[in-house]
Structure 1
Amino acid sequence: MTKRKPKISVIVPVYNVEKYLRECLDSLANQTLKSIEVLMVNDGSADNSGLIMDEYSSKYDNFYSYHKENGGLGHARNYGVQYAKGEFIAFVDSDDYLSLDAYKKMYQLASENQTDIVIGNVKRFNSTKVYGSGLHKKVFSDTIPKTHITKNNELIYDTTAWNKIFRREFWIKNDFKFPEGMLYEDLPVTIPAHYKAESVSVLEDFIYFWRAREAGDKSITQQRNDLVNLTDRLKALDLVDSFFNYANIKGELKDLKDYKALSLDIPLYLNILDTADSEYIKVFMTKVSTYLQTISDETFRKLNAIDRAKYYFISKNDIERLLDVLKFQKNEFKYSKPKKVKGQFFWEFPFGKELPKDICKPDSEFTIKRKIERVEWDSSVIRIEGYHFIRHLDIKRKKDVSLKAYVFDPISGEKKFINCFSVKRPDITLKFGTKKNNNIPLSRVNNYDWSGYIIEVDTNDLFDRLSGKLEIWVEINCSGKTRSYRIGEPVSGKKPRPKHRVYSSRRIFIKYNSSWDLYLDLRPVTTQVNSLIYENGNLIIKGETSLPLNECQLLFRDYDKNEQYRYYMEKDGHSNSFKTIIPKSTINRLKNNTELIGYVRYNNDNEPLTYLESVKVENIVLDTKEISIDASPAGNLRILTRNYTAYLKDINFSNENLLIEASITDKYIKTLKNLTDINMVLKNVETGHTVSGNILREYKEKGEFFLKTGFDLSNNKVRTPFNEEYGVWRVYLEFTVKGNKSFKKLKRIKVRDKEINFPKKTVGNIKYSPYVTKEDNISINNIFEWNWIERGPRRQEVIEKFLYPLFRLLPMKKKTIVFESYWGKQISCNPKAIYDYINEHYPEYECVWMVNNDYVKVDGEAIKVKIKSLKYFQYMARAKYFVNNVNFPDFYEKRKNAVELQTMHGTPLKTLGLDVPGEVDTEDKRNRFLRRCGRWDYLTVPSKYVSDLARRIYDYKNEILETGYPRNDKLFKDNNEVFRNQLKKKLNLPNDKKIILYAPTFRVKNGFELKLDLEKLRKKLKDDYVILLRLHYFISDELDISDFKGFAYNLSNYDDIQDLYLLSDVLITDYSSVMFDYGILKKPMIFFTYDLEEYRDNLRGMYLNIEDEAPGPLVRDNMSLIDSIEKLDNYFTQYGEKYNSFRAKYCEFDDGNASEKVVKKFLNVD
């Protein structure tokens, strides 16, 4: 049987990328467009890349391996093209990956528009983050079905081969071939292809993820200071120039090509000439000075003045002066501003007298900085707040700036001017004005005090169009310079992203494109819901439609289960009115956590079923669940089924009390047998501390149970964590059930009534701010109110810049020790162990803890000082001794004879310091990091392994204390049955069961889902074991394990994890550094690594090769985990040798006496 021709042939050149190749190939194997072939070309790899290719070609019928001798990327791509059979061809670099729907979207766009090329948007990534591609940001703001580089000149910036599909017939017809034996082979192909194409489609969706190689693993094109890199880049530019000459391309496109070369390509090398050798500089000067002779005056004038100055000296072959310009640009330029002389601006460069006057005139430097901070509806008016300014131009007074704003219809070209006001924002000057002088903390180079704005868009006064996209533009004039820009760049969070509204038969959405430009998305309301009635178990939906009723059906989609339900739309009175009944049987059949989105099925398409906010409907309460009805983010009718939920009825302040009233259906209460108490509790997200309310009233009404409680804020009657602790507090209803095994069940309180006001109140030094989370839960943020002298960043900066240097002139406090742990978040870890020892043995020393929240409790006579307070700077200036497990801030200047101890906070499992990509990726970041590390006099380590690692990752040159970690002394001191029995009693744990501790690492990516199957574990292990869960506090509160009472215990908020180490008989972990401390105890460890490849390959790098070094079994599923627990009697027979090697390498110096050794050395005492 003949194989069908694939839609896309994907060519993947492969060279020594075994570390990244699987991720790339997996993204191709899982494409939603299945009709692709993947042609892998091994370009003479010396590692295991070829074997991985063969593995994939054996596994997948549409993957093909080709092996050849090394010839470079261009040759490998050309080699692969000859085997391509697809309608389109694509290229993928083997260390990158694609979104899973990339080729489906691109192929669909090409097919719909019959284009020769489709280009897709790009993001960069490394092991710690994903971020925008600067190279591509000019190209992708909106999807453009059909265009051409002569119409859309910005496509000149789209120079990469791998974010495209090319029609193969078009490729062959033009005989495209990548240059061989050189870097930057994309440029000479992609630009001619853009020009020769009949048309090109632009897809704004991010489809390609381009890897940024990290320290020690830079790709060839990232090595800018390599001479071959330079000459190949210039050669690629020459080839593009040759094509432009051959095709006789002139005018705007040619000018933009030259501008791109001078502003983007060449500066990559020009700006590092001050670190280059003489040969590199000579080649650069020769080739670039020749290139400059081809540049038009008009293009040259578009460059920034500082770049024009550099090119001027290149054209004069004045290397010495060129290097002076580079030095000025990197060190002093940011502190300068253009001066206005006789109505014209000029830069006052120190070398300006040697330059033609016109070169010093700025223009392109006057770019817009924009930001949207809030967008909200006020009836039919959209109110937009933010700030903007033209860089380098002062707007000190209101009259210094004038504004115009208008709504723009990109189809008709019509403008409608709208209200726009300037607002005073001195904070923007402080943030962006650039510090002028470190000795004058509030002085700034530029003044942007009147950079704030408010824009008002009355949606009743928009264009008559029912659908389409409308843009909002602003014209800003400062000092005679006018710039027009499209508003955008929203801050993160909900404030600039309000929900849609329906006005004048239109749904109006406020959205942002991939360039973060705001636009109004208008969609016609063809069908809307006017009422919802729940009657006799049936849900009756009534509404009106402009579509022919006899050709329509109401359709509900369950996207999670890929199911749909269809119902007839009956005529209901008027010709355009309808009624649909969803029967009781369907309602009862819906399972919990089902989400149904409503549409109207018409003409083989799904039209929106609009839900108006004015339509109110009570939740439908059934025997086992409740159903809520609202609008989806897209504005469609949405039906949600979930477990019974508690809802907020009211929240307010009365005198110095916070009053909260909430309700829950009485049916839920009836499901709780042996219920003895209902209360409301607040729980601090970070500390886990809980506070119960004072019950003021409880009553039942219409099948609902209501509870009103009060929380005393006065701090006069009873001191509670809530009136002492800062941070976010979640609000719950708490149900206490007693019986053989008592437990408490928490229900997070949600907000159903959007009209509830959320007041704020300050009592003492805490400002209480209730708010609604993005999941519609109610939380309260307790914010510290500073004393007047410390209030706000400006005053704190004055203290830091003015008073701190003066405090340093006062005598040093030679018996004062400053402690800090985890940036002031806790009193814990090694610093606490050292403090405890000093507090017991050397009470004559004054101990000061620097904390974010001064409510934290500490034993002994220690002084707690809030970070950034006046006292904080006093102690930082005068103390002699400093202890930290991270680093003190940059402002801290160590005094002569001061002593700093760095304790670390654990054996490094994941990369740290100079090994972390992006952490020290600039010279300034590196210098500041090394300066912080250079202050340390002593560094504590638990092993020779960490000692050697620390020397390298911190570039550490001073004394290392090979003592073990002070915090681990507890694991020796309290490792006895008496302590364990006391702890079991305290935590209400059974004495006759062994204890499993589950302590996984915190997963940021895609959130955390408990993969332990507690039901299976209980069924198999309940006779002999109980399990303690120690999870990250971010997710621990959301975990309901009440069904496993007596077997599973959530101790995520327990203060000291070392107690749990001592208590447990076996540890289950994964990639967490808890394994290193736990190894001291010589107890079994099991590694539940269900996502090993994802964590190992895609997230931040690990020093430990867990597959080789883990002192216990690596299990992937719950049955294997249970099997390993049941075989613990043989654990040390199987893993004893590996365990001993692990302890010898990572726990070498821990002996229970670290605190004593460290303190005696640190304080120089006997």
Structure 2
Amino acid sequence: MPEIVPGLVSVIVPIYNVEPFLRDCLDSLRAQTYPDLQVLMVDDGSTDGCAAIAEEFVAADPRFQLIRQANAGLSAARNVAVPMARGEYLAFVDSDDVLAAHAYELLVQAMAGGADFASGGVRRYSSRGTYRGAPHNEAIAATDLNAHVSRDPKLLRDRTIWNKLYRRAFYDAHGFEFPVGRLFEDVPVTVPAHALATSVAIVAEPIYFWRVREGAVRSITQSGNDLRNLVDRFYSVDLTRKLLAEAGQDELRRVYEEQAIWDKLGKYLKFLPAASPEFREKFLELATAYLAELDPGAVDRQPANVRRHWQLIRDRRVDDLLELIDHGFRQPKAPPTLESAVRSLAWRAGRLELTGYAYVPGGAPRRFGSLRLLWLSSDGGRRKIPLRARAHRDPTAPPAEQAAGFAVSVNPAVVRHGKVWRSGSWTVAVAAARGITVRRAGLRVPEEWTDPLPRRQLEAGVWIAPIVTKGRLRLRVSKSDGWLTASHRDGDELVLAGMLRNKPKGPVRIELSRVRGIVTHRVPAEVTPVADGFAFTARIPLAGIALDSTDDNHAAGLYAQRFKIDIVVKAKPVQLVADDAYEPIRILQGTDEIYTAVTAAGQVTLRTRPAGPVVTSAAWRPDGALVLDGDCPTDVEGELLLRLQGRRKDLSLPLRAVRGRWQVVIDPSAVPGLAGSLPLVAGTWDLAFRSAGAYHRTTTALAFSVAVSASLPSSATAGDGVRSVLRWDGNERTVLVVAAPTLDPAGQERLRAAYAPVTGRPAVREVVLFDAAPGRRFADDPAALLAELAGRPNAPAARWTVERGQPVPPGAEPVGYGSEAWYAALTTSRWIVTNDDLPRWFRPQEGQVVLRLAGGWPIARSGATAVAHPLGRELIDQIDSDAASWTAVASPGASATPVLRRELRFAGPVLEYGRPANDLLTTLDAEAARAEVLRRLELPAGTRLVLYAPTLRPMDLRKRGWSDPGKLLDLPGVVASLPPGYELLVRRHPALGDDVLGLSLVSGVLDVSGYPRVAELLLAADVLITDYSTLLADFAVTGRPALLYVPDLAEFEASPGLNVDLATVAPGPLLRTSAEVMAAVRAIGPVAAEHEQAAKDFAERHPVAGAGQAAARLVDWLLAAGERGVAVEAT
């Protein structure tokens, strides 16, 4: 064992086939602000370019060393490097992750008090940025430099090795070793280490960015439905239990055992309904064996929502367990138990005057309202101060809110401690009652709120401000020994100037700290008497703040820093507060921009971000468009990204900075895309900047000047009532909130009663309503039918059901889904064309004709014959309800009709005229289609195309994203396998709302999910890669090769099932792995020749009916049925 070097941090980095991510990881180690590093890279037999990248770092930096070995696994790679480590401190990093630049500096400082190891905060990291995630968001919630798991059992969930720094003496004393050949190898080290440590330094500041693998190649923690993953998880839990027992930690062992039920092992429940019989049986075997080892009461002590599942597991009641799991997925979102919101807020005569409403939903609004109580609750809830509320009606509000309205006047003096002001936060809490039901919560601030929340000075150095925390109204009292009045740059120093509350009795200093208790910089403050008190001046060297880095991590904002600024006048540091007139400063230092920021409560922080575009003006035009103007230290060409929170949906606009200035216009009603200019869907959109990096594209939050952020929120309202609000969310992000008018359940019920009463319904109108899926996507078949109808002389008026953000084809007037116009159209239109569910309450009145478009040939079971479908009986009930309303069903052809009758449980007329969207397959020239596709995609003429279009998996109803093309297939690998001159096109199933996963990280792949006519894509494609999709039969008419990528064939055949036996009739090879797809693409000529006869046979069994006249014949039928009131030409 080498001699230990004091102060040295040894970092072990196992490497195996992570070429796309390795450089970012090693760059983050090279960028560490703590310079005394030894980086031991262990190449565990990588077969990609990892070794060459590692050699680059060895050649450039003597702190990096490379160890090579044959592939033995992650644990073996870590274990082999530990004896070579020379540092006083020992750390481990996974080679696909990234460290904050100050990570080891901060952890070393945190251990100064004698902790055996330090553990830092973690953020998940993907192409969409960083976010807090489990389990660290709960396990490491607050900084505690003298923590221990016995006092804080949540630390049992802090089980990863890579966010920690160990004292080598502690690590060696306990002989820690990673279990070789097993997954989840961290836990048998980290959990016993928590138990055996004397103290642990917990640092909540994020120091580690844990990458979310985006694509078909997933990390261990992202492969929960893998059998080895399951077995090794139980092994890891069991081994950790035994190690805790051996350490004499029986109480911690018991806590760990019970926590593991819901935290680790319970994660597998969601996979069981769609899992293979082998996976289910193995889970049941391992789970029952685990429970048998525990205290008999362990299951009964679980939370109610966990307990029921594990009781069924213990009793081996598999069918009941699966039904319970799916029942949970089918449960509608629980309604809020208390509806409340602020309506107005302002300071008047020294008091905070606010109005709002609060009520418990359920039943009709009460004429005289209901009981409401308001109070202020201090941090921790130790003090509660009642507020006197009076009834207040807003005549512009909905009835329920009018009856529940209140007004309250708050005197700030009520939060004083006697006559003394103290810093602290107070939640404005509210309670309301309906009958004997009482509900309470913090008073909500609506997302669309745009009024200012002004701070008010109470006395010298004391301010009170209304602030918003997690959507709730709070009052923040800020008291400081000093306040900042000005700041400026003087050479290589930042000068802070301000005032003190009182004459100091000793030296005054300014301290900068990333987390409380760990001071990073200390500088003296010079104090001088002035006319109105005592002024101070402090100088902070900029070189100690800024990073001069050019790597892609820096450009992505992963090295950004935030320092709390404290003033120390007495013994205790107090955070510096900004004077009302203080103007924040921005300083360019190397590749960083250093700036001061002021929170809504007035506290000052010093921050850094990568130098780049910064918004310096944000203004709304009269037409509702948002104009962003900004500056930039260099000329750049990039994109402003609009990213919908809660979904994976990105839209981009060009951002080009020339001679230091740039401008971007965002029109929420018309953002350009592949399907044309469409309005932004309702929701919260992050604003980000994406540009070309050194090795890959980088994305960071779009920066706003503090002055612009302080002026927010601002808003504009469109003619349709949609309100767009630009808002600063207080976490280095500015968001655009799009709020569309919606009807509450009571309003929906009112419209239903008005337009679909039991008797006396409104008269039928000569209108065709296309209620396509329903309004969520541009549907090919209804659009083709509309195009045919619009070309007819004297055609009836057409309406198209649409949700905001979706395209409307030419020839139809849009009606918003769920609006009054939609209720009217659905209940009074003579013709209704649908391709999805109808409302359960709907039944056509006399004279209405309802045509159900069945789509393509149903390769997969998706209706009544689906096996173990997540919707269970609800699916059958919906089909039966819909079938009772249909006049006829349109079939793609005679061979599909028997299948459709079983799937749709429909005994009425079936029209075998063909699929309207497929008319193009026989009427449009293939080369013309290719030319049009290449033009729209801006690809060179002559480009050959491979289209990947998988179908929808029912598992998506249980866990969103299961059918994502980027998860199913290794897209980068397929792109690399394409012959020269080929492009890969990817189309997600139209029922999926998210963008294709990880596509922004892959060059050479185009997302064509928004392309309006899929038949054009089929005609243009030289090769189709699909699975159980109806497109398989549609594409067969082209005579071109199809590859069937079916990695889950056995599981899919079991649930939901197939209507064809692909093993015997598939028109192309059945490929189970991405590697097999890549090989088939490389040898597409021989592969196509081998399956030529099978493809012809498949096309004959599933012909494209209609000879290009399907839409015309269906329109003929519709118009005739509307005139005669009967179905004609039906089979």
TM-score range relative to shorter protein: 0.5 to 0.7
Instruction: Report what 1:974 is aligned to.
Output: 924
Instruction: Report what 1:756 is aligned to.
Output: 711
Instruction: Report what 2:1082 is aligned to.
Output: 1126
Instruction: Report matched runs for 1:472-491 at 5 Å.
Output: 486-488=440-442
- Taking a change above 3 Å as real, the CA distance of residues 729 and 930 of structure 1, as seen in their structure-2 partners, is same
Instruction: Report matched runs for 1:527-926 at 5 Å.
Output: 533-534=488-489, 536=491, 554-556=512-514, 567-574=520-527, 579-583=539-543, 586-589=546-549, 591-592=554-555, 593-594=557-558, 595-598=560-563, 616-621=583-588, 630=597, 637=605, 639-642=607-610, 644-645=612-613, 647=615, 649-653=617-621, 657=623, 661-669=627-635, 671=636, 704-705=660-661, 753-756=708-711, 769-772=724-727, 776-777=733-734, 779=736, 781=738, 800-802=752-754, 817-825=768-776, 828-839=779-790, 843=793, 846-852=796-802, 858-859=809-810, 876-896=826-846, 898-904=848-854, 907=858
Give the Cα–Cα distance (whole angstroms) in 2 for the partners of residues 611 and 990 of structure 1. Answer: 58
Give the Cα–Cα distance (whole angstroms) in 2 for the partners of residues 933 and 94 of structure 1. Answer: 48
TM superposition shift of 1:396 = 1.5
Alignment check: 8 A CA contact 1:388 1:451 kept:
yes
TM superposition shift of 1:1065 = 2.6
TM superposition shift of 1:583 = 0.7
Give the Cα–Cα distance (whole angstroms) in 2 for the partners of residues 793 and 99 of structure 1. Answer: 36
Specify the SS of the correspondent of 1:754: helix
Identify which of 192, 195, 215 aligns with 1:35: 192
Identify which of 878, 886, 909 aligns with 1:936: 886
Instruction: Report what 2:1017 is aligned to.
Output: 1060
Give the Cα–Cα distance (whole angstroms) in 1 for the partners of residues 1028 and 518 of structure 2. Answer: 44
TM superposition shift of 1:569 = 0.7
Alignment check: 8 A CA contact 2:852 2:889 kept:
yes
Partner letter of residue 832 of structure 2?
Answer: F
Partner letter of residue 1083 of structure 2?
Answer: K
Alignment check: 8 A CA contact 1:406 1:416 kept:
yes
Give per-residue Cα distances to partners, 1:663-701, cap 9 Å, x unaligned. Answer: 3335443x45xx9xx999999x999999999xxxx999x
Instruction: Report matched runs for 1:150-549 at 5 Å.
Output: 177=296, 186-187=299-300, 190=301, 220=320, 370-374=338-342, 381=352, 385-389=356-360, 395-397=366-368, 403-408=372-377, 414-424=383-393, 449-455=402-408, 461-464=414-417, 466=422, 486-488=440-442, 533-534=488-489, 536=491
Give the Cα–Cα distance (whole angstroms) in 2 for the partners of residues 547 and 967 of structure 1. Answer: 84
Give per-residue Cα distances to partners, 1:952-977, cap 9 Å, x unaligned. Answer: 77554545556653323323433522
Instruction: Report matched runs for 1:958-1107 at 5 Å.
Output: 958-961=908-911, 965-974=915-924, 976-985=926-935, 987-997=937-947, 1023-1028=980-985, 1053-1067=1010-1024, 1077-1078=1034-1035, 1081=1038, 1083=1040
Alignment check: 8 A CA contact 1:812 1:878 kept:
yes
TM superposition shift of 1:554 = 3.9
Alignment check: 8 A CA contact 1:901 1:939 kept:
yes
TM superposition shift of 1:1030 = 5.4
TM superposition shift of 1:705 = 2.1
Give the Cα–Cα distance (whole angstroms) in 1 for the partners of residues 838 and 1019 of structure 2. Answer: 32
Give aligned-pair identity as a percent. 12
- Taking a change above 3 Å as real, the CA distance of residues 128 and 679 of structure 1, as seen in their structure-2 partners, is same
Partner letter of residue 833 of structure 2?
Answer: V
Give the Cα–Cα distance (whole angstroms) in 2 for the partners of residues 95 and 1108 of structure 1. Answer: 44
Give the Cα–Cα distance (whole angstroms) in 1 for the partners of residues 248 and 1090 of structure 2. Answer: 51
- Taking a change above 3 Å as real, the CA distance of residues 644 and 912 of structure 1, as seen in their structure-2 partners, is farther
Specify the SS of the correspondent of 1:588: coil
Give the Cα–Cα distance (whole angstroms) in 1 for the partners of residues 869 and 507 of structure 2. Answer: 59
Alignment check: 8 A CA contact 1:865 1:872 kept:
yes
Instruction: Report what 2:23 is aligned to.
Output: none
TM superposition shift of 1:992 = 3.2
TM superposition shift of 1:771 = 3.1
Partner letter of residue 930 of structure 2?
Answer: R
Alignment check: 8 A CA contact 2:564 2:606 kept:
no
Give per-residue Cα distances to partners, 1:114-160, cap 9 Å, x unaligned. Answer: xxxxxxxx99986899xxxxxxxxxxxxxxxxxxxxxxxxxxxxxxx
- Taking a change above 3 Å as real, the CA distance of residues 1074 and 794 of structure 1, as seen in their structure-2 partners, is same
TM superposition shift of 1:207 = 10
Give the Cα–Cα distance (whole angstroms) in 2 for the partners of residues 1165 and 1084 of structure 1. Answer: 38
Give the Cα–Cα distance (whole angstroms) in 1 for the partners of residues 547 and 642 of structure 2. Answer: 33
Alignment check: 8 A CA contact 2:584 2:598 kept:
no
TM superposition shift of 1:938 = 2.8
Specify the SS of the correspondent of 1:396: coil
Alignment check: 8 A CA contact 1:686 1:727 kept:
no
Specify the SS of the correspondent of 1:568: strand
Give the Cα–Cα distance (whole angstroms) in 1 for the partners of residues 485 and 272 of structure 2. Answer: 48
Instruction: Report what 1:280 is aligned to.
Output: none
Partner letter of residue 1024 of structure 1?
Answer: G
Give per-residue Cα distances to partners, 1:301-339, cap 9 Å, x unaligned. Answer: xxxxxxxxxxxxxxxxxxxxxxxxxxxxxxxxxxxxxxx
Alignment check: 8 A CA contact 2:448 2:723 kept:
no
TM superposition shift of 1:939 = 3.1
- Taking a change above 3 Å as real, the CA distance of residues 961 and 1103 of structure 1, as seen in their structure-2 partners, is farther
Give me the CA root mean square deviation: 7.5
Greater length-normalized contact order (CA 8 Å, ≥ 6 residues apart): 2
Give the Cα–Cα distance (whole angstroms) in 1 for the partners of residues 338 and 1102 of structure 2. Answer: 50
- Taking a change above 3 Å as real, the CA distance of residues 680 and 498 of structure 1, as seen in their structure-2 partners, is closer
Specify the SS of the correspondent of 2:547: helix
Give per-residue Cα distances to partners, 1:588-640, cap 9 Å, x unaligned. Answer: 1271122323358999xx99977759664344457767566546999783635
Give the Cα–Cα distance (whole angstroms) in 1 for the partners of residues 650 and 1116 of structure 2. Answer: 35
- Taking a change above 3 Å as real, the CA distance of residues 660 and 1157 of structure 1, as seen in their structure-2 partners, is closer
TM superposition shift of 1:903 = 1.4
Give per-residue Cα distances to partners, 1:982-1005, cap 9 Å, x unaligned. Answer: 543455422233224466789995
Give per-residue Cα distances to partners, 1:195-228, cap 9 Å, x unaligned. Answer: xxxxxxx9x9x999969999x997547999xxxx
Give the Cα–Cα distance (whole angstroms) in 1 for the partners of residues 685 and 445 of structure 2. Answer: 24
- Taking a change above 3 Å as real, the CA distance of residues 95 and 844 of structure 1, as seen in their structure-2 partners, is farther
Structure 1 alignment gaps of length 5 or more? 1-5, 9-24, 38-50, 66-76, 103-121, 130-161, 179-184, 192-201, 225-366, 432-447, 559-563, 715-719, 738-744, 786-790
Partner letter of residue 973 of structure 1?
Answer: T
Instruction: Report what 2:1124 is aligned to.
Output: none
Specify the SS of the correspondent of 1:35: helix
Alignment check: 8 A CA contact 1:556 1:597 kept:
yes
Greater shift, 961-970 or 589-598, is seen at: 961-970
Give the Cα–Cα distance (whole angstroms) in 2 for the partners of residues 644 and 217 of structure 1. Answer: 59
- Taking a change above 3 Å as real, the CA distance of residues 485 and 770 of structure 1, as seen in their structure-2 partners, is closer
TM superposition shift of 1:1142 = 8.2
Give per-residue Cα distances to partners, 1:45-86, cap 9 Å, x unaligned. Answer: xxxxxx998986679874669xxxxxxxxxxx9xx9999995
Specify the SS of the correspondent of 1:406: strand
